[in-house]
Structure 1
Amino acid sequence: MKRFLKKQWAFLAILLLIAVTGQAAGLPDFTELVKNNSPAVVNISTTQKITQSGSRLPHGLHQLPEGGPFEDFFRRFFDEEDGEPRSFETHSLGSGFVISSDGYIITNNHVIRDADEVIVRFSDRRELEAEVVGSDERSDLALLKVEAKNLPTLKQSSASQLKVGEWVLAIGSPFGFEHSATAGIVSALGRSLPEESYVPFIQTDVAINPGNSGGPLFNLTGEVVGINSQIYSRTGGFMGLSFAIPIDVAMEVVEQLKEKGQVARGWLGVVIQDVTRELAQSFGLGKPQGALVARVLADSPAAKGGIQVGDIILDFNGKPVPRSAALPPLVGRAEIGEMVGVQILRAGDEKTLKIKIGELPEKEAPQKTRKKPEHLFEKRLALEVADLSKKERAQLDVVSGVRVTKVEEGPAFEAGIQHGDIILSLNHTEIKDITEFKELAKKLPVGKPVPLLLQRGQTASFITITLPEGS
């Protein structure tokens, strides 16, 4: 029995040894990568001078009884000097890396935003003041310049070569701990984030924390593939979702910042949305794909080129558009003034339009909303609508449509239509007034999703609405 147990233990030990050594052999060794590349990674510290006007008394203690026993005490304790403005400094930390031996350094825009002084600290303990050559808020990138020569630089590789699942490594200064290395894998590619539609982010599970921003993301061969930019977190700390700007996108921005100090992007002038399964069915698509045009801005390249509301953009300049998030980066990187082919699906037919790319404006004009005249209650949809006045149409920048004034339980409510929404089209037909809306509603099929274009606030989008059997 003892011999049997000894054999069993020996067998288990061999299996464990094989598992451990096999696993170790399959893991990458990052030591040389970190050693060779750390000298070109820098720590960036910024100083911002802030002037605060008025009192520094705690909230609720600004109105003290004049001449009272506590007035002098509180004013002395909180060092208030008759409400005079006070100046103080705030400091922040980030990372960056050298892209040319003559002193150009790349980092995130949010690292140096509003800074009065930017100091770059190298691994050899040198500290140099940096000039901000230019910055771009839309891509969250900034280009710095220090007066130095023969600086170590990093090699770069196109992020298009990355594959989901491959190892990547970050070097940066999380919480000020300089030249910290963390590793993980590529979790996804081409991610679109809210308010960041012009960057197809690299998603990783590399541990990124405050201070890592602006630092490099390496592949296993020690080449920079991205710039660590932000994390997704519900706590403020790392939760396994970090995002990096592809180096290809970053270097295009850098070239423009070097030349002009600012970035110009291509512009179509459309408001788009994703195609859901129901929308795909209602537009005659075999599967959800492309970018559905919910609005075409007046005098935009899209309007001049013939793009219409309800078109589904399937391909832009020879590159497929699998979902709406893929379109803005493609358009943004297109050359201004270039004629490009845009393949669309319209009323079930595919066609290619030639569009001359414009320049993305700084801001689009805000629009306002309001309400009023004649009302109509549509029983099949269980909602009430009203005509738009001329003033409302001008404020909303629409030429037609009806306003939703009441929604009861029924198909409209289940579709997500709300009071105040503007219904622009129903089942592929533009709505001029409540009379036309009533006629269209009568002809709606039952048991089948149909597209409805509505505008809510400043955003237009398609939804589907389905009438139940027997309605």
Structure 2
Amino acid sequence: MLKKIVYLIVGFVLIGEPALAQLPDFTQMVKENGSAVVNISTTQKTEQPDGNAAIPEIPDDVPPQLEEFFRHFFQGPGRGFMPRETKSLGSGFIISEDGYLLTNHHVVKNADEIIVKLNDRRELEAKLIGSDENTDVALLKVEASDLPVVEIGSTKKLQVGEWVLAIGSPFGFEQSVTAGIVSAKGRSLPGGNYVPFIQTDVAINPGNSGGPLFNMKGQVVGMNSQIYSRSGGYMGLSFAIPMDVAMNVVEQIKTTGKVSRGWLGVQIQDVTRELAESFDMDRPFGALVSRVIEDSPAEKAGLQIGDIIIEFNGHDIETSGELPPVVGMTPVGEKAKVRIIREGHRKTLSVEIGLLPDQEQLVEATTGRKMAVNRLAVVVTDLTAAQRKQLQVEVNGVLVQEVDRGPAFDAGVRRGDVILRIQNHMIRDVADFEETVANLPADKSLAVLIQRRGSPVFLALKIDE
């Protein structure tokens, strides 16, 4: 019996040693690449409510220039605005020896100053060369030479289950290293229609944004961008922007100074099991066209409502979320082959890819109407999932896009505010907002609840008869 126990112990040791030897060792990779990963801090000058400030009475004979001066500092009844500085932290990585580096758009958005801290403790001021909100990629430049750089890899050969490594500054802790595996590829997230995200289980937290994701060859295959969390911290789901997407953005910014994206001009949805059965499909796949926008490339090519797009320029389309990224990456003006199923028959159409309109034009094209200025003299839109996350608005509310001189402006409402409630009426969406505003009484002070930079604020406004 004793001999059997000894044999078992020896066998366990012999089996265990090779298994342990197969675990990856990241030490050399960190030594070779850590110096090219940077910490990014930004400063933004903002105005925040000062509850101790009161608006002075502005005489009727004050010149318009002075009136505007007063309103700049006192933007609402009983409430003043004092200048404040807000700071944020993120990560980035150097892609050229002469000082180009990448980070997330949301890390440097609206920043008045961007400071890049190198691994050798140098701190350099960075210039924003350009950024793209749709892909959350920003290109920066510092004045330096002979900088350490990362090697750029491709996501095409990246496999699910493969080990990956992240270096960044979570919560400001610089040069933090975490590792995990690729959980999935081509993930479509709300607000990220043009990015086929890499999903990993690498521990990512606030401050890791913009940092690199390495494969086992020491190549950067992604840029860490988002986490899925109910607590605000890491919960096992992290998402990175593929470097193929990021470098396409970099090339466009360097070449033209802006990012142009391909556009098809359809609204699509997934094919469910029930819908697949109704279309006589043996299984659900493809992107079902629910709307064809007027005068769009899709309409000109002959796409119709009810068509199921199953292939685009050689890319198989399994789910609707796979279509926007490949269309967006297609050069404007290029002829693309679109394979569809129509009334049970497969056919191929040729479509000339157009230029994705700006947000305002896109809203007008998809809704068929343009928002008109109302009694409050504001233009509002519904919040997207990405905007809700960014603005910390879980439910209800409309986003203020434009504010003209009028009751809302006089009360202190500004572009970027979220209107949550007017008097005792919660504002669910644009239609609800329009109906509420149309029925507001005149010559009476009305309480308006807005959210600004994550904080709720009550303002009082009055509509003249």
| Fold shared, TM-score > 0.5 on shorter chain | yes
What's 1:186 paired with?
Answer: 182
What's 1:86 paired with?
Answer: 82
Task: Report SS of the residue matched to 2:159.
Answer: coil
Q: Say what the alpha-carbon RMSD is for the aligned residues.
A: 2.3
Task: Report SS of the residue matched to 1:221.
Answer: coil
Superposition deviation, residue 15 in structure 1 = 3.3
Asked if 1:168 corresponds to 2:164, the answer is: yes
What's 1:261 paired with?
Answer: 257
Question: What are the within-5 Å matches in structure 2 for residues 351-390 of structure 1?
Answer: 351-363=347-359, 364-366=362-364
Task: Report SS of the residue matched to 1:235.
Answer: coil
What stretches of structure 1 of length at least 5 have no aligned partner?
Answer: 64-81, 370-392, 397-455, 459-471
The letter of the residue matching 2:329 is: R
Q: In 2, distance between residues paired with 1:394 and 1:26?
A: 60
Quickly say closer, same or farther: Cα 1:56–1:308, change in 2 above 3 A. Answer: farther
Contact 1:135–1:261 (8 Å) recurs in 2: no
1:131-188 C-alpha deviation (Å, 9 max, x unpaired):
0000100000100000001111111211110011010000000111111110000000
The letter of the residue matching 1:334 is: T
1:10-40 C-alpha deviation (Å, 9 max, x unpaired):
2343233234312211101100000000010
What stretches of structure 2 of length at least 5 have no aligned partner?
Answer: 56-77, 372-428, 432-465
> 4+ residue runs of structure 1 moved beyond 6 angstroms?
393-396
Contact 2:52–2:80 (8 Å) recurs in 1: no
What's 1:320 paired with?
Answer: 316
2:293 aligned residue (297, 307, 311)? 297
**Identity of aligned pairs, percent?**
59
Q: In 2, distance between residues paired with 1:217 and 1:19?
A: 32
- TM-score (norm: length of structure 1): 0.71
Asked if 1:212 corresponds to 2:208, the answer is: yes
Contact 2:294–2:365 (8 Å) recurs in 1: no
Q: In 2, distance between residues paired with 1:113 and 1:153?
A: 24
1:286 aligned residue (258, 282, 293)? 282
1:326-374 C-alpha deviation (Å, 9 max, x unpaired):
11011001110111111111111111111110000112235999xxxxx
Asked if 1:130 corresponds to 2:162, the answer is: no
What's 2:223 paired with?
Answer: 227
- TM-score (norm: length of structure 2): 0.72
Q: In 2, distance between residues paired with 1:183 and 1:243?
A: 13
Superposition deviation, residue 9 in structure 1 = 4.0
Q: In 2, distance between residues paired with 1:315 and 1:125?
A: 50
Question: What are the within-5 Å matches in structure 2 for residues 239-258 of structure 1?
Answer: 239-258=235-254
Matched residues, number: 350
What's 1:389 paired with?
Answer: none
Structure with bigger gyration radius? 1
1:227-266 C-alpha deviation (Å, 9 max, x unpaired):
0011011111111100001101100001111122321000
Task: Report SS of the residue matched to 1:158.
Answer: coil
Q: In 2, distance between residues paired with 1:110 and 1:186?
A: 24
Task: Report SS of the residue matched to 2:336.
Answer: strand
Task: Report SS of the residue matched to 1:199.
Answer: coil
Quickly say closer, same or farther: Cα 1:394–1:50, change in 2 above 3 A. Answer: closer
Q: In 1, distance between residues paired with 2:366 and 2:222?
A: 40
What's 2:42 paired with?
Answer: 46
Q: In 2, distance between residues paired with 1:252 and 1:394?
A: 33
Superposition deviation, residue 193 in structure 1 = 0.4
2:139 aligned residue (116, 119, 143)? 143
The letter of the residue matching 2:240 is: A
Q: In 1, distance between residues paired with 2:289 and 2:201?
A: 34
The letter of the residue matching 2:217 is: T
2:334 aligned residue (325, 333, 338)? 338
Q: In 1, distance between residues paired with 2:292 and 2:260?
A: 21
Contact 1:368–1:395 (8 Å) recurs in 2: no
Q: In 2, distance between residues paired with 1:96 and 1:358?
A: 32
The letter of the residue matching 1:183 is: A
Contact 2:363–2:370 (8 Å) recurs in 1: no
Contact 2:293–2:366 (8 Å) recurs in 1: no
2:17 aligned residue (14, 21, 40)? 21
Q: In 1, distance between residues paired with 2:369 and 2:185?
A: 41
Q: In 2, distance between residues paired with 1:56 and 1:331?
A: 53
Superposition deviation, residue 83 in structure 1 = 5.2
